[in-house]
Amino acid sequence: MFSTKEMPSLSSLFSAIASITASIMFLQSMVYQILPHQVRHYLISILHNLIFKTHTPTLITFVFDKDNEFGGLNQIYKAAGVYLQTLRCPGNKRLKVSKSLKEKGLIIRLETGEKVTDSYDGMEFRWRYVCSKSEEDSDSPGRGGGSKRQCYELSFHNEDEGKVCDSYIHFVLDRAKAISEERRFLKMHTYSPSSGMNWQSVNLEHPATFETVAMDVKKKNNIMEDLNRFVKRKEFYKKVGRAWKRGYLLYGPPGTGKSSLVAAMANHLKFDIYDLQLANVRRDSELRRLLLATGNRSILVIEDIDCSVNLPDRLHGEKEKKSDPQNDKNSINGTSLTLSGLLNFIDGLWSSCGDERIIIFTTNHKERLDPALLRPGRMDVHIHMGYCTYEAFKQLASNYLEISGDHHHLYREIQGLLEETEVTPAQVAEEMMKDEDAESALEGLVDLLKQKKMKGDECDHAKADEKKWQIC
Ligand SMILES: Nc1ncnc2c1ncn2[C@@H]1O[C@H](COP(=O)(O)OP(=O)(O)OP(=O)(O)O)[C@@H](O)[C@H]1O
Ligand SMILES: [Mg+2]
């Protein structure tokens, strides 16, 4: 078995082992003679733990059944199913693949008996999915009920048990939540009384993101930071006794990107949108019912707040009530929709009934808004969406025509024209879509800007002439 060369080294190894064994036996006999029985026992148990615990750790297995004891769905089972979709082992042979209308992409899960490994914070884990006939059924095979027991098994070193309970399982729950959020289709909810008394929802697949919205970069970053801070501040809002909500007022001319920004905010936060047309709501009680039916982590949008409905303001409403007691049309608890009803609800009970609420009003005419809507503390952030600047133009050119930087020979001319004309990002974007060739598209834009400039100049002359006549 061994070569002749190996023989001397092996024989010296055996003689070394023999002398070590003899020394251990000698020490053992000394220990037996010197130490009392209890101390001996204690030392041996420590030695045993040292040798066996470090070299042959025992595994422990947690079993997460699908159903919890009270009949509901075990949240850890559900989270494990989502989280394990991100893990794969080279040895996996059978995987279940499905598609859901509520989620983007394919859902790939483990088939029964399949295992995957994971590591976290220096610990090693083995997960296994098990689907078997439930014990009750196998006890009485004649019944043929076919009910299944489904579970995930998580095996790990028993010394990690504390860390698994305190940290790893929470990590799995959090990751599963984030993965589900990432995968689910956002929803857009709308309301019209003709289609029933509740919100109707469709998948929100608006492509606008913070990358595609063209606006001042600093302003854009401020909005993103504000949103990120808001979603992280649950404890802060609780501490200062405020409802966890934030109000944004987006104002500016038509076609400057207000609706696009709303969609970008929803995509950024992964929040559903509730798009409320006030013209469809007839009274405060209806508004209250609708708002109470909105979900957490959502954005309530009321577009064109200045013109969607003629909301009587507080003072106005009070005056009318006094002058005509029969007329309860504008009362808070009456039958019609009032501005105070809207504001009360937004500031008060509604926002404290849920978490992570964002409310956005948009308008083309900030100056026409009721002062009650504008007073400090009501809409936390006012965002002006203006005419197309050179910076916004460059972003649009990068998005639509894939021109990066500002080296194009027409850019200087365009910059000058943009400073002298009022053109919306929507108009600029439309010009860029007219031609796939960047050069031709930009030439088209230059023509448009020149025409606008000429019209603007003519208008200025006409206004100046009008003034002259008035003076005469
Ligand atoms: N700032 C922008 N960045 C990128 N695209 C824009 C921007 N503004 C407008 N657009 C383009 O123009 C179209 C119309 O813009 P949007 O509906 O967002 O404007 P709006 O300000 O909401 O207008 P309105 O006041 O009429 O509701 C969008 O589909 C988008 O493609
Ligand atoms: Mg809009």
- CA atoms 409, 410, 413, 416: torsion sign: negative
One domain for residues 100 and 22 = no
- Let me know whether 82 and 68 are in one domain: yes
Token pair, residue 69, equals: 């004891």
pTM: 0.73
Is 200 in contact with 190 (CB distance < 8 Å)?
yes
Q: How far apart are CA 322 and CA 327, in angstroms?
A: 9
Looking at the domain assignment, is residue 326 inside a domain? yes
Confidence at residue 55, expressed as pLDDT on a 0 to 100 scale: 56
Assess contact for 264 and 208: CB atoms under 8 A: yes
pLDDT of residue 134 exceeding 60, the answer is: yes
Whether residue 350 contacts residue 291, with contact meaning beta carbons closer than 8 Å, is answered with yes
DSSP state string for 315-380:
HHHHHHHHH-TT--TT-SSSSS--HHHHHHHHHTHHHHHSSSEEEEEEES-GGGS-HHHHSTTTSS
Query: Does any ligand 1 atom lie closer than 6 A to the CB of residue 247?
Result: no
Nearest protein Cα to ligand 1, atom 26: 254
- Let me know whether 40 and 69 are in one domain: no
Task: For residue 429, give the ligand 1 atom closest to its CA.
Answer: 11
239, 168: one domain:
no
Residue 435 lies in a domain: yes
Ligand closest to Cα of 424 equals 1
Whether 105 and 194 map to the same domain: the answer is no
Q: Which ligand is nearest to the CA of 210?
A: 1
Q: Is residue 3 part of a domain?
A: no
pLDDT score of 228 more than 90: yes
**How far are the Cα atoms of 109, 112, 364 from residue 129, in angstroms, in the given order?**
9, 5, 56
Please tell me whether residue 391 adopts helix, strand or coil conformation. helix
Characterize 283-318 residue by residue with b for buried, 16 or more Cβ atoms within 10 angstroms of its Cβ, and e for exposed. Answer: ebebbbebbeebeeebbbbbbbbbebbebbbbeebe
Is residue 372 domain-shared with residue 414, that is, in the same domain?
A: no
Q: Are residues 375 and 430 in the same domain?
A: no
Residue 244: in which H helix or E strand, if any?
none
Q: Can you tell me the distance from the alpha carbon of 428 to that of 215, in angstroms, rounded to the nearest whole number?
A: 13
Domain interval for residue 455: 390-471
* Domain end position, chosen among 366, 384, 402: 384
Q: Are residues 219 and 174 part of one domain? A: no
* Proportion of the chain above pLDDT 70, given as a percent: 78
Q: Would you say residue 301 lies in a domain? A: yes
Among 5, 39, 55, the domain boundary falls at 55
Query: Cα–Cα distance between 167 and 452 in angstroms, integer?
Result: 62
> What is the predicted pLDDT for the residue at 14?
56
Q: Is the CB of 260 under 6 A from ligand 1?
A: yes
Residues 69, 77: contact at Cβ < 8 Å? no
Lowest mean pLDDT among 88-92, 180-184, 202-206, 393-397: 88-92
Distance 417 CA to ligand 1 centre (A): 21
Atom of ligand 1 nearest to the CA of 260: 18
Among all bound ligands, the one having the nearest atom to the CA of 385 is 1
Residue 288's pLDDT band (cuts 50, 70, 90): confident
Residues 258, 314 within the same domain: yes
Ligand 2 midpoint to CA 422 (Å): 18
Q: What is the pLDDT of residues 298-317, one digit of tens each?
A: 999 999 887 655 655 544 44
**Is any atom of ligand 1 closer than 6 Å to the C-beta of 364?**
yes
Q: Kindly give the distance from the C-alpha atom of residue 163 to the centroid of ligand 2, in angstroms, as a whole number.
A: 50
Which residue has the CA at smallest separation from atom 14 of ligand 1?
255
State pLDDT tens for residues 323-361.
443 343 334 344 477 777 787 777 777 767 778 899 999
Q: Are residues 154 and 253 in the same domain?
A: no
- Nearest residue (by CA) to ligand 1, atom 24, is 254
Which residue is it, tokens 């949008």? 301
What is the rounded distance in angstroms from the CA atom of residue 197 to the CA atom of residue 282? 12
Yes or no: say if 384 and 416 are a contact pair by the CB < 8 Å rule: no
d(CA 240, CA 259): 32
Specify the number of domains making up the chain: 4
What CATH number corresponds to the domain at position 285? 3.40.50.300
- Tell me: do 130 and 215 sit in the same domain: no
**363 in contact with ligand 1, CB cutoff 6 A:** no
Among 323, 357, 384, where does a domain finish? 384
42 and 91 fall within a common domain: no
How do 245-251 and 381-384 pair as beta strands?
A: parallel
Given a cut of 80, whether residue 59 has pLDDT beyond it is yes
Q: How many CB atoms lie within 10 A of CB 233?
A: 16
Closest residue by Cα to atom 5, ligand 1, is 213
Is 258 near ligand 1, meaning CB less than 6 Å away?
Answer: yes
Indicate which ligand has the atom closest to the C-alpha of 214: 1
Mean pLDDT of 434-439: 92
- 397 belongs to a structural domain: yes
Mutational pocket test of ligand 1: of 217, 259, 267, 364, the residue with most ligand atoms within 8 Å of the beta carbon = 259
Q: Whose CA is closest to atom 13 on ligand 1?
A: 426
Is a pLDDT exceeding 70 seen at residue 50?
Answer: no
Nearest to 110 by CA among 126, 133, 131, 94: 94
Average pLDDT over residues 139-168: 82
Could you tell me the distance, in angstroms and rounded to a whole number, from the CA of residue 426 to the centre of ligand 1? 5
Complex-level ipTM:
0.99
Q: In the 8-state DSSP scheme, what is residue 303?
A: -
| Closest residue by CA, ligand 1 atom 31 | 426
Task: Return the DSSP state at 423.
Answer: -
Q: What is the DSSP string of 197-240?
A: SS-EEEEE-----TTTS-S-HHHHHHHHHHHHHHHH-HHHHHHT
The answer to whether position 4 is within a domain reads no
Please name the residues in contact with 176: beta carbons below 8 A apart, sequence gap of 6 or more.
Answer: 78, 79, 80, 81, 82, 83
Does some domain include residue 6? no
Ligand 1, atom 16, residue with closest C-alpha: 257
- Residue 140 domain-assigned? no
